């Protein structure tokens, strides 16, 4: 057992002990119920690490079932911990105010697991439904008439892996193709696992079609999963991989550049993949009037704006996916979700089309984005 895993496991045990100490005595449901509660928390302690390792589990007849159990446990544990903390804060306020009663203590202890279960169930339904289409108009100054209404369909952060398989991706592809976009962008974190394990499940990508092409940029999870192999596989499926590169598309006399960079952290895995918006635009014709950058992480935006792009399409954040993780996104990224301005450039951050880890979305719905260029 390596040191980091041992640290995570120790922290998990301490948090489960905290939940048990704060809830079980206040439930006052007798010895048998307390034993059942302790056993349930022990089961969560075992299953949560399984969820964390689910993408690397060896394939067996039972591996999918174990992955589902572990990842659902991760989601339930998160909500159970948060609701326990919220309860303690409320009880503290009521105690200070002199309003705390035995009935409130017991009732709130019963409410915590019920609320955690309800949030987990609702989050599961939200995560597993097909992502809805979100239409976003991006105003571009001096947009040539021939590019008015130019549409890019964006999908991001699908995370094909332990619980997202071929049928889930197939439904996404069907919906994207029906949009009739001029181009399609897949902005990273397509997979969680190796090509050997997941090639069958990513096959539906070969059906993506748009007049100006289907483009892919790497996300950080591609580098956890064997980026070189996935780049080759995505190309085999017919997508154009933009690895600090660009293509030019024309409408009438108007030129549009679609560029893409490797993930912001790619250089830690492969120095040759260092994300570079300037390099991605190098050699572009002087008559290109609109420059669009595909970059997995929003924090590529300042450098992209300096390089002269008009619009950056990103993902990575999942919009936080579910509370309270949305509160931590700003510690790493400049934006959580939606359309924002970085000086002279727009950046749009998708909430993601799939999910990572627990099959759970709460307050951050998944999306397939249809981005349209409109005159400012």
* pLDDT tens digits for range 139-173: 999 999 999 999 999 999 999 999 999 999 999 99
The packing angle between helices 102-128 and 3-27, to 10°, is 130
Domain check: are 11 and 148 in the same one? no
Domain check: are 69 and 198 in the same one? no
pLDDT of residue 60: 72
Domain check: are 316 and 350 in the same one? yes
Q: Please tell me whether residue 347 adopts helix, strand or coil conformation.
A: strand
CA distances from 313 to 178, 228, 252, 348 (A): 21, 23, 24, 5
Domain count, the chain: 2
Q: What is the DSSP letter of 327?
A: G
- Nearest CA-CA partner of 75 in 126, 13, 132, 150: 126
Domain check: are 339 and 259 in the same one? yes
Domain check: are 252 and 219 in the same one? yes
Domain CATH number, residue 370: 3.60.21.10
Q: Are 157 and 263 in contact (CB under 8 A)?
A: no
Residue 312 pairs in a beta bridge with 293, 347
- Nearest CA-CA partner of 100 in 166, 151, 26: 26
Residue with tokens 């400049």: 334
**pTM for this prediction:** 0.92
237 pLDDT higher than 90: yes
Domain check: are 106 and 140 in the same one? no
pLDDT of residue 323: 83
Domain check: are 182 and 329 in the same one? yes
HSE-up of residue 262 (Cα within 13 Å, Cβ side): 21
235 pLDDT higher than 70: yes
Domain span at 284: 132-375
Q: What is the DSSP letter of 362?
A: B
Q: Please tell me whether residue 174 adopts helix, strand or coil conformation.
A: helix
Six-digit token pair at 160? 């094909």
- Nearest CA-CA partner of 249 in 291, 208, 198: 291
Mean pLDDT in residue range 251-272:
96
Q: What is the DSSP letter of 319?
A: G
Q: Can you spell out the DSSP letters for 210-224?
A: -TT-EEE---HHHHH
Domain check: are 121 and 190 in the same one? no
HSE-up of residue 62 (Cα within 13 Å, Cβ side): 4
pLDDT tens by residue, 294-336 = 999 999 999 999 999 999 999 999 999 998 888 889 999 999 9
pLDDT of residue 1: 53
Domain check: are 221 and 196 in the same one? yes
Chosen domain end from 105, 128, 151:
128
Mean pLDDT in residue range 7-12:
86
CA distances from 307 to 273, 297, 310, 345 (A): 18, 16, 10, 10
Chosen domain end from 97, 128, 159:
128
Which residues, 6+ apart, have CB-to-CB distance to 96 below 8 Å?
A: none
Domain check: are 265 and 363 in the same one? yes
Domain check: are 246 and 149 in the same one? yes
Domain check: are 286 and 167 in the same one? yes
Chosen domain end from 84, 112, 128:
128
Q: Are 124 and 359 in contact (CB under 8 A)?
A: yes
């Amino acid at each position: 057992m390596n040191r980091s895993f041992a640290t995570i496991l120790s922290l998990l045990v301490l948090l489960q002990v905290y939940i048990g100490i704060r809830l079980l005595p206040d439930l006052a449901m007798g010895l048998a119920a307390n034993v059942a509660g302790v056993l349930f928390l022990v089961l969560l302690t075992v299953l949560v690490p399984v969820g964390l390792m689910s993408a690397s589990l060896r394939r067996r007849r039972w591996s999918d079932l174990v992955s589902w159990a572990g990842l659902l446990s991760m989601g339930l544990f998160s909500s159970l911990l948060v609701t326990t903390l919220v309860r303690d804060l409320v009880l503290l306020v009521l105690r200070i105010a002199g309003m705390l009663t035995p009935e409130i203590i017991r009732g709130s202890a019963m409410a915590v697991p019920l609320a955690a279960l309800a949030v987990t169930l609702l989050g599961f339904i939200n995560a597993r439904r097909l992502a809805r289409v979100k239409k976003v108009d991006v105003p571009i100054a001096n947009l040539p008439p021939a590019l008015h209404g130019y549409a890019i369909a964006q999908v991001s952060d699908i995370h094909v892996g332990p619980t997202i398989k071929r049928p889930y991706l197939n439904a996404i592809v069907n919906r994207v193709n029906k949009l009739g976009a001029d181009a399609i962008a897949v902005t990273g974190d397509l997979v969680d696992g190796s090509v050997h394990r997941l090639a069958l499940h990513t096959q539906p990508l070969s059906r993506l079609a748009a007049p100006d092409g289907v483009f892919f940029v790497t996300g950080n999870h591609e580098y956890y999963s064997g980026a070189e192999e996935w780049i080759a596989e995505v190309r085999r499926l017919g997508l154009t991989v933009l690895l600090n590169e660009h293509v030019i598309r024309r409408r009438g006399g108007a030129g549009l550049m679609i560029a893409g960079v490797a993930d912001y952290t790619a250089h830690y895995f492969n120095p040759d993949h260092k994300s570079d918006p300037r390099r991605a635009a190098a050699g572009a014709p002087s008559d290109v009037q609109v420059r669009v950058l595909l970059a997995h992480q929003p924090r590529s935006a300042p450098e992209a704006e300096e390089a002269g792009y008009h619009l950056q399409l990103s993902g990575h954040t999942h919009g936080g996916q579910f509370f309270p993780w949305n509160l931590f996104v700003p510690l790493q990224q400049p934006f959580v979700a939606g359309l924002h301005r970085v000086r002279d450039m727009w950046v749009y951050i998708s909430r993601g089309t799939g999910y990572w880890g627990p099959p759970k979305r709460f307050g951050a719905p998944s999306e397939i984005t249809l981005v349209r260029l409109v005159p400012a």
